[in-house]
Amino acid sequence: MVKQLVFAITLLATIGIFSFTINRILNYFRFTRPAFQVRHFNQRIWLTLNVAIGQTKIFRRPVMGFFHALVFWGFCVIAFGSIEMIIDGLFGTERCLKFLGPVYDVITASGDIFGLLVGISIIIFLVRRVFFHIKRFEGIEMKSVSHLDANIALGMILFLMLSLLGMNMAYYAGMGGTGLEGVYPVSRLLSGIFSGMPAAPIDLIYEICWWSHILLIFVFANVLPYSKHFHVFMSIPNVFLSRLEPLGHLPNMDDITREVQLMLNPDANFATPPSDAPVGRFGIRDAEDVTWKNYLDSLACTECGRCTAVCPANLTGKRLSPRKIIMDVRARMKEKGPGMVRKGKEFSDNKSLVRDYISEEELWACTTCNACARECPININHPVLIVDMRRYLVMEEASAPGGIKGVFSNIENNGAPWQFSPEDRLRWAQDIELHIN
C-alpha cells in the first residue's frame, strides 16, 4: 500500500509538471498565424506510416539510420512495458497484461531484445558524439549546451535500457526460470550473473531496477520539452501535419492574391476585409508572424543537421544553415512568448527574429532548391519559412540585394526582368531570314 501511495504521488507530480509545460507551449501557438487546413487524412496516415513509423528518410544514411530506427522502434515496443508498470504501480498488481497470453510473450520478448539493441545503439551514438568530429553536429548554432543536452538525453536513455535489462534479469533469476509471465530471451542469457545469489538480494535488485526505470521515465518525460529530444513526442504529429504540396510549391499571400485578382478583374466580387480591420504584416518579421506549422516544425526539429549537410549555400561557405533557421524560430518564441502571454500579441522587447536572430545575408543565400526539406527526416519545410522572411524584407522594408532590386525595377519599368525596353525585344531577330517550305 505504501508503494502504491508513493507511486501515485510521483505519477501525479509527473503529470502535473508535464501538463504545465505543455500548456505553456500550447499557449504560444495562440500567437501564430494560420497555415493551411488539415485535409486528405488517408494520404496523411500513409505518409506517417511511411516516414515516421517506417523511418524511410532516415535510411538515406543507411548505417546510422539503421541504429536510429532501432532506437525509435525500440521505444515503441518498450512503451507497452512502461504502461504495464504504471498500472502495476497504481493498483499493486504484478504483470497485469499477462492475460494477453501469446501476445504478451511477443511484447515482453521484443522489449527484452530491443532493450539490448537500443542500449548498443545509444553507446554508438555517444561514442560518435564524444570521440569523433562529425561535421554535421557542428555549426554556429550548435552551442556547448546543445552538445551537453544531447549527451545527457542519450545517457538517460542508456540508463533506461540498463535498468530495464536489470529488472528483467532479476525477475528471471528470482523466478528460477520457471513460472515466468512472458518471454525474456536476452535476460535469460545474462541472468547467470545472479547464479548462487540468495533470493533476498535478487528481489532488492529487482525493486531498485523497477523504481529506477519508472522514475527515469518520469524525469525523461519532463526533460524532453526543454531538450532537442522533444522530437520523441513531436516528430510523428509533425509528419502527419506535413505540407502535401510538391516541395517546389511556395504558397501565395492571400492579400496579394486578392489585389492582383482585383486588378485583373475589377468587377469580380471578391471578399474584402472590413475597413477597420488591422493591416496584416507582409511576410515574417518576428515570432508572432510565423504560422502554427512553422512553430511546430521548430519544436519537432531533431537538430540532426541533415538539412545543413546538403545545403548548397552552406557547402560553398555561405552563412546559411537551414537547421539554424528552424532553431532560431524556437529560441525566439521561447524568449518572446512569455511576454506575449502576459501582455498580448502587441508585446515588444525591441528585438525581432529577422536581424536579431537571422541575418539578411543568411536569408538571401538560400537558393530555394529544397534539398533541406527533401532530406529532413520529419518533413520540415525550411524554404517556405525563409521565403516568408524575404517577403517581409522586400514588401515592408524594400530591402533586398542590389541585383534583385534591379530585377524589380526592370519588371516595373519594362515588364520583364531585363533592362531592355519592350520595343527592343525582337531586335535580335531582325536580320534572321526564315525559309518556310
Instruction: List Cβ neighbours of 200 (8 Å cut-off, separation of 6 or more).
Output: none
Q: Please tell me the predicted confidence (pLDDT) of residue 278.
A: 60
The amino acid present at 22, given as its one-letter code, is I
CA 153 – CA 155 distance, rounded (Å): 5
The mean pLDDT value for 333-337 works out to 95
3-class state of residue 33 by DSSP: strand
The amino acid present at 93, given as its one-letter code, is T
CA 109 – CA 83 distance, rounded (Å): 16
Poorest-confidence range of 39-48, 239-248, 275-284?
A: 275-284
Nearest to 213 by CA among 19, 105, 83, 20: 83
Question: Mind listing the pLDDT tens digit for each residue in 377-397?
Answer: 999 999 999 999 999 999 999
CA 267 – CA 387 distance, rounded (Å): 32
The mean pLDDT value for 116-144 works out to 92
- Is the pLDDT reported for residue 69 higher than 60? yes
Which residue would you say has higher pLDDT here, 241 or 424?
A: 241
Return the axis-axis angle of helices 144-174 and 62-91, rounded to nearest 10°. 60
Q: What is the mean pLDDT of the chain?
A: 90
Across-strand partners of 249? none
Q: Please tell me the predicted confidence (pLDDT) of residue 318.
A: 94
Q: Please tell me the predicted confidence (pLDDT) of residue 277.
A: 55
In order of 22, 29, 106, 184, the CA distances from 333 in angstroms are 14, 10, 44, 46
The amino acid present at 116, given as its one-letter code, is L
SS3 for 226-275 is HCHHHHHHHHHHHHHCCCCCCCCCCCCCHHHHHHHHHHHCCCCCCCCCCC
Q: Which helix (H) or strand (E) holds 170?
A: helix 144-174
- Is the pLDDT reported for residue 177 higher than 80? no
- Is the pLDDT reported for residue 256 higher than 90? no
Query: Exposure of 280 by Cβ count < 10 A (0-12 exposed, 13-18 middle, 19+ buried)?
Result: exposed
Q: How confident is the model at residue 73 (pLDDT cuts 50, 70, 90)?
A: very high
- The string over 395-419, giving b where at least 16 C-beta atoms fall within 10 Å of a residue's C-beta and e elsewhere, is eeeebbeeeeeebeeeeeebeeeee
Reported in sequence order, the residue ranges of 154-249 that DSSP labels E, i.e. its strands, are: none
Nearest to 327 by CA among 304, 351, 360, 352: 304
Q: Please tell me the predicted confidence (pLDDT) of residue 279.
A: 62
Which residue would you say has higher pLDDT here, 257 or 91?
A: 91
- Is the pLDDT reported for residue 197 higher than 60? yes
Residues 156, 219 contacting (CB under 8 angstroms): yes
Q: Please tell me the predicted confidence (pLDDT) of residue 120.
A: 97
The mean pLDDT value for 82-91 works out to 93
In order of 71, 153, 154, 179, 384, the CA distances from 82 in angstroms are 16, 18, 18, 22, 39
Question: Mind listing the pLDDT tens digit for each residue in 396-435?
Answer: 998 988 888 888 888 888 888 888 777 777 777 777 876 7
Q: Please tell me the predicted confidence (pLDDT) of residue 275.
A: 56
The mean pLDDT value for 341-352 works out to 92
State percent of the chain over pLDDT 90.
68
- Is the pLDDT reported for residue 30 higher than 90? yes
| In the block, residue with C-alpha cell 509528419 | 239
Q: How confident is the model at residue 268 (pLDDT cuts 50, 70, 90)?
A: low
Q: Which helix (H) or strand (E) holds 298?
A: helix 292-300
Which residue would you say has higher pLDDT here, 175 or 346?
A: 346
Q: How confident is the model at residue 253 (pLDDT cuts 50, 70, 90)?
A: confident
Other Cβ atoms closer than 10 A to 167: 24
Q: Please tell me the predicted confidence (pLDDT) of residue 285.
A: 95
CA 113 – CA 111 distance, rounded (Å): 6
State percent of the chain over pLDDT 70.
96
Q: Please tell me the predicted confidence (pLDDT) of residue 272.
A: 62
